[in-house]
Amino acid sequence: MRIPFIAGNWKMNTTATQAEELVQNMLDRLDKIEDVEKVLCPPFVSLVTVKELLKGSSIKLGAQNMHFEIKGAYTGEISPLMLSELCEFVILGHSERRGYFGETDEIVNKKIKAALQNKLKPILCVGERLEENEAGRTKTVIGRQLSQGLKNIEPTHNLVVAYEPIWAIGSGKAASGEQAAVTIRFIRDTLVKLWNKEIAQDLRILYGGSVTSHNITEFISQPEIDGALVGGSSLKAGDFLDIANQAAAIKHRHLSSPLKGEE
Protein backbone atom coordinates (compact mmCIF):
# COMPACT_ATOMS: atom_id res chain seq x y z
CA MET A 1 0.00 0.00 0.00
CA ARG A 2 1.22 3.50 -0.86
CA ILE A 3 2.01 5.57 2.23
CA PRO A 4 -0.50 8.45 2.57
CA PHE A 5 0.96 11.89 1.86
CA ILE A 6 -0.38 15.01 3.55
CA ALA A 7 1.22 18.32 2.52
CA GLY A 8 0.39 21.80 3.72
CA ASN A 9 0.74 24.60 1.17
CA TRP A 10 0.80 27.82 3.18
CA LYS A 11 0.86 29.95 0.02
CA MET A 12 1.62 33.66 0.63
CA ASN A 13 0.70 33.53 4.30
CA THR A 14 2.62 33.88 7.59
CA THR A 15 5.63 35.97 8.45
CA ALA A 16 8.72 34.12 9.67
CA THR A 17 7.57 34.75 13.25
CA GLN A 18 4.06 33.45 12.52
CA ALA A 19 5.50 30.43 10.72
CA GLU A 20 7.59 29.56 13.76
CA GLU A 21 4.55 29.85 16.02
CA LEU A 22 2.42 27.68 13.71
CA VAL A 23 5.03 24.92 13.58
CA GLN A 24 5.55 24.99 17.34
CA ASN A 25 1.80 24.65 17.87
CA MET A 26 1.71 21.32 16.05
CA LEU A 27 5.27 19.99 15.94
CA ASP A 28 5.18 17.41 18.75
CA ARG A 29 1.74 16.04 17.90
CA LEU A 30 2.36 15.98 14.13
CA ASP A 31 5.69 14.24 14.62
CA LYS A 32 3.97 11.40 16.51
CA ILE A 33 1.53 10.61 13.71
CA GLU A 34 2.79 7.45 12.05
CA ASP A 35 2.18 5.83 8.64
CA VAL A 36 1.67 9.20 6.94
CA GLU A 37 4.28 11.29 5.14
CA LYS A 38 3.84 14.84 6.42
CA VAL A 39 5.21 17.84 4.54
CA LEU A 40 5.05 21.56 5.30
CA CYS A 41 5.50 24.09 2.49
CA PRO A 42 5.96 27.58 3.97
CA PRO A 43 6.97 30.73 2.04
CA PHE A 44 10.63 31.01 0.99
CA VAL A 45 11.42 33.49 3.78
CA SER A 46 10.55 30.89 6.43
CA LEU A 47 12.29 27.81 5.00
CA VAL A 48 15.43 28.20 7.13
CA THR A 49 13.41 28.82 10.30
CA VAL A 50 11.09 25.89 9.71
CA LYS A 51 13.96 23.60 8.73
CA GLU A 52 15.60 24.19 12.10
CA LEU A 53 12.33 23.54 13.94
CA LEU A 54 11.74 20.27 12.07
CA LYS A 55 15.27 18.95 12.60
CA GLY A 56 15.16 15.45 14.06
CA SER A 57 11.41 15.05 13.44
CA SER A 58 9.53 12.89 10.95
CA ILE A 59 8.09 15.97 9.23
CA LYS A 60 9.47 16.89 5.81
CA LEU A 61 9.92 20.34 4.30
CA GLY A 62 8.91 21.60 0.88
CA ALA A 63 9.05 24.84 -1.12
CA GLN A 64 6.16 26.36 -3.07
CA ASN A 65 7.95 27.10 -6.35
CA MET A 66 11.37 27.60 -7.97
CA HIS A 67 13.07 28.77 -11.14
CA PHE A 68 14.43 26.23 -13.61
CA GLU A 69 17.88 27.85 -13.90
CA ILE A 70 20.62 27.02 -11.41
CA LYS A 71 21.80 30.63 -11.07
CA GLY A 72 21.95 33.87 -12.99
CA ALA A 73 20.43 37.31 -13.52
CA TYR A 74 16.89 36.42 -12.46
CA THR A 75 16.13 39.02 -9.82
CA GLY A 76 13.75 37.78 -7.16
CA GLU A 77 13.87 34.14 -8.21
CA ILE A 78 14.92 31.07 -6.20
CA SER A 79 16.94 28.29 -7.82
CA PRO A 80 16.78 24.52 -7.28
CA LEU A 81 20.37 24.63 -6.07
CA MET A 82 19.37 27.02 -3.28
CA LEU A 83 16.43 24.83 -2.28
CA SER A 84 18.41 21.60 -2.34
CA GLU A 85 20.20 22.64 0.86
CA LEU A 86 16.94 23.41 2.63
CA CYS A 87 14.13 21.07 1.65
CA GLU A 88 13.17 17.77 0.05
CA PHE A 89 10.04 18.67 -1.92
CA VAL A 90 8.91 21.50 -4.19
CA ILE A 91 5.42 22.27 -5.49
CA LEU A 92 5.46 22.85 -9.26
CA GLY A 93 2.75 23.70 -11.78
CA HIS A 94 0.26 24.96 -9.20
CA SER A 95 -2.76 26.53 -10.88
CA GLU A 96 -2.00 29.87 -9.23
CA ARG A 97 1.43 29.86 -10.87
CA ARG A 98 -0.11 28.88 -14.20
CA GLY A 99 -2.97 31.36 -13.96
CA TYR A 100 -1.47 34.44 -12.28
CA PHE A 101 2.10 34.16 -13.55
CA GLY A 102 1.63 32.63 -16.98
CA GLU A 103 3.51 29.40 -16.38
CA THR A 104 3.08 27.06 -19.35
CA ASP A 105 3.42 23.29 -19.53
CA GLU A 106 6.84 23.88 -21.11
CA ILE A 107 8.01 25.95 -18.14
CA VAL A 108 6.66 23.37 -15.71
CA ASN A 109 8.55 20.69 -17.63
CA LYS A 110 11.80 22.64 -17.31
CA LYS A 111 11.22 23.09 -13.58
CA ILE A 112 10.55 19.39 -13.02
CA LYS A 113 13.75 18.47 -14.85
CA ALA A 114 15.75 21.01 -12.83
CA ALA A 115 14.24 19.81 -9.55
CA LEU A 116 15.06 16.17 -10.22
CA GLN A 117 18.59 17.04 -11.34
CA ASN A 118 19.11 18.78 -8.01
CA LYS A 119 17.73 15.96 -5.84
CA LEU A 120 14.40 17.67 -5.16
CA LYS A 121 11.11 15.78 -5.34
CA PRO A 122 8.47 17.65 -7.35
CA ILE A 123 4.83 17.77 -6.33
CA LEU A 124 3.36 18.24 -9.80
CA CYS A 125 -0.04 19.96 -9.78
CA VAL A 126 -2.58 19.38 -12.54
CA GLY A 127 -6.20 20.45 -12.83
CA GLU A 128 -8.90 21.94 -15.00
CA ARG A 129 -10.89 25.18 -14.87
CA LEU A 130 -14.63 25.19 -14.21
CA GLU A 131 -15.54 25.85 -17.87
CA GLU A 132 -13.26 23.00 -18.96
CA ASN A 133 -14.88 20.69 -16.45
CA GLU A 134 -18.40 21.65 -17.52
CA ALA A 135 -17.44 21.17 -21.20
CA GLY A 136 -16.27 17.63 -20.49
CA ARG A 137 -12.63 18.49 -21.20
CA THR A 138 -11.12 17.42 -17.86
CA LYS A 139 -9.26 14.42 -19.27
CA THR A 140 -8.04 16.37 -22.30
CA VAL A 141 -6.60 19.17 -20.17
CA ILE A 142 -5.01 16.92 -17.56
CA GLY A 143 -3.68 14.53 -20.18
CA ARG A 144 -1.93 17.45 -21.85
CA GLN A 145 -0.54 18.78 -18.58
CA LEU A 146 0.91 15.36 -17.75
CA SER A 147 2.32 14.53 -21.17
CA GLN A 148 3.88 17.98 -21.63
CA GLY A 149 4.94 18.40 -18.02
CA LEU A 150 6.74 15.05 -17.99
CA LYS A 151 8.08 15.25 -21.54
CA ASN A 152 11.54 13.67 -21.92
CA ILE A 153 11.71 12.85 -18.21
CA GLU A 154 12.79 9.35 -17.28
CA PRO A 155 10.41 7.36 -15.05
CA THR A 156 11.12 8.09 -11.40
CA HIS A 157 9.69 7.33 -7.99
CA ASN A 158 10.77 10.81 -6.85
CA LEU A 159 7.55 12.48 -7.91
CA VAL A 160 4.17 13.17 -6.36
CA VAL A 161 1.17 14.27 -8.44
CA ALA A 162 -1.61 16.45 -7.04
CA TYR A 163 -4.96 16.73 -8.78
CA GLU A 164 -6.32 20.18 -7.99
CA PRO A 165 -9.48 21.12 -9.89
CA ILE A 166 -9.10 24.87 -10.22
CA TRP A 167 -12.79 25.44 -9.57
CA ALA A 168 -12.35 23.90 -6.11
CA ILE A 169 -9.25 25.76 -4.93
CA GLY A 170 -10.09 28.25 -2.21
CA SER A 171 -13.74 28.21 -3.25
CA GLY A 172 -15.05 26.05 -0.44
CA LYS A 173 -16.52 23.82 -3.16
CA ALA A 174 -14.53 20.59 -3.12
CA ALA A 175 -15.06 17.83 -5.63
CA SER A 176 -16.73 14.73 -4.22
CA GLY A 177 -14.53 11.79 -3.29
CA GLU A 178 -15.95 9.80 -6.19
CA GLN A 179 -15.40 12.64 -8.67
CA ALA A 180 -11.79 13.05 -7.57
CA ALA A 181 -11.17 9.30 -7.65
CA VAL A 182 -12.36 9.03 -11.27
CA THR A 183 -9.94 11.74 -12.38
CA ILE A 184 -7.09 10.36 -10.29
CA ARG A 185 -7.67 6.93 -11.81
CA PHE A 186 -7.30 8.59 -15.22
CA ILE A 187 -4.07 10.25 -14.06
CA ARG A 188 -2.66 6.89 -12.97
CA ASP A 189 -3.69 5.28 -16.26
CA THR A 190 -2.00 8.13 -18.14
CA LEU A 191 1.19 7.60 -16.13
CA VAL A 192 1.11 3.93 -17.14
CA LYS A 193 1.15 5.02 -20.79
CA LEU A 194 3.74 7.76 -20.32
CA TRP A 195 6.07 5.72 -18.10
CA ASN A 196 5.15 2.19 -17.01
CA LYS A 197 2.73 0.31 -14.82
CA GLU A 198 5.15 -0.34 -11.97
CA ILE A 199 6.03 3.33 -11.48
CA ALA A 200 2.43 4.45 -11.99
CA GLN A 201 1.19 2.08 -9.29
CA ASP A 202 3.86 3.25 -6.84
CA LEU A 203 3.47 7.03 -7.23
CA ARG A 204 1.29 8.89 -4.76
CA ILE A 205 -1.51 10.93 -6.34
CA LEU A 206 -3.16 13.49 -4.08
CA TYR A 207 -6.33 15.52 -4.13
CA GLY A 208 -6.24 19.26 -3.45
CA GLY A 209 -8.95 21.90 -3.45
CA SER A 210 -10.87 23.04 -0.35
CA VAL A 211 -9.65 20.06 1.69
CA THR A 212 -10.69 20.33 5.35
CA SER A 213 -10.80 18.18 8.45
CA HIS A 214 -14.50 17.67 7.67
CA ASN A 215 -14.07 16.17 4.19
CA ILE A 216 -10.62 14.54 4.20
CA THR A 217 -12.08 11.12 5.05
CA GLU A 218 -14.25 11.26 1.94
CA PHE A 219 -11.12 11.58 -0.20
CA ILE A 220 -8.61 9.43 1.62
CA SER A 221 -11.14 6.56 1.83
CA GLN A 222 -10.97 6.25 -1.95
CA PRO A 223 -8.30 3.62 -2.82
CA GLU A 224 -7.02 5.75 -5.71
CA ILE A 225 -6.43 8.85 -3.59
CA ASP A 226 -3.18 8.75 -1.61
CA GLY A 227 -3.46 11.95 0.38
CA ALA A 228 -4.03 15.67 0.06
CA LEU A 229 -2.36 18.95 -0.78
CA VAL A 230 -3.99 21.15 1.84
CA GLY A 231 -4.31 24.91 1.51
CA GLY A 232 -6.21 27.06 4.02
CA SER A 233 -6.64 24.29 6.58
CA SER A 234 -2.86 23.85 6.81
CA LEU A 235 -2.67 27.31 8.39
CA LYS A 236 -4.63 26.08 11.42
CA ALA A 237 -2.61 23.71 13.58
CA GLY A 238 -5.64 21.85 14.91
CA ASP A 239 -7.19 21.35 11.49
CA PHE A 240 -3.96 20.13 9.88
CA LEU A 241 -3.34 17.71 12.75
CA ASP A 242 -6.88 16.39 12.40
CA ILE A 243 -6.39 15.84 8.67
CA ALA A 244 -3.14 13.94 9.21
CA ASN A 245 -4.68 11.88 12.03
CA GLN A 246 -7.66 10.89 9.90
CA ALA A 247 -5.34 9.83 7.07
CA ALA A 248 -3.38 7.67 9.52
CA ALA A 249 -6.55 6.12 10.94
CA ILE A 250 -7.84 5.15 7.50
CA LYS A 251 -4.44 3.70 6.60
CA HIS A 252 -4.63 1.45 9.70
CA ARG A 253 -8.21 0.48 8.85
CA HIS A 254 -7.16 -0.63 5.36
CA LEU A 255 -4.23 -2.61 6.72
CA SER A 256 -6.42 -4.39 9.25
CA SER A 257 -9.13 -5.26 6.71
CA PRO A 258 -8.79 -8.58 4.86
CA LEU A 259 -8.38 -8.44 1.12
CA LYS A 260 -11.35 -9.50 -0.99
CA GLY A 261 -11.38 -13.24 -1.35
CA GLU A 262 -9.42 -13.72 1.88
CA GLU A 263 -12.20 -13.24 4.39
254 is catalytic: no
Contact indicator for 163, 183 with CB cutoff of 8 Å: yes
d(CA 7, CA 141): 24
Beta strands in the chain (DSSP E): 5-9, 37-41, 60-63, 89-92, 121-126, 160-163, 204-208, 227-230
Contact indicator for 90, 123 with CB cutoff of 8 Å: yes
Contact indicator for 120, 106 with CB cutoff of 8 Å: no
Question: Which residue in 94, 96, 128, 224 is the catalytic one?
Answer: 94
Contact indicator for 132, 165 with CB cutoff of 8 Å: no
Three-class DSSP labels, 182-227: HHHHHHHHHHHHHCCHHHHHHCEEEEECCCCCCCHHHHHCCCCCCE
262 is catalytic: no
| Residue from 55, 66, 1 nearest 23 by CA | 55
Question: Which residue in 37, 96, 103, 164 is the catalytic one?
Answer: 164
- List the catalytic residues: 94, 164
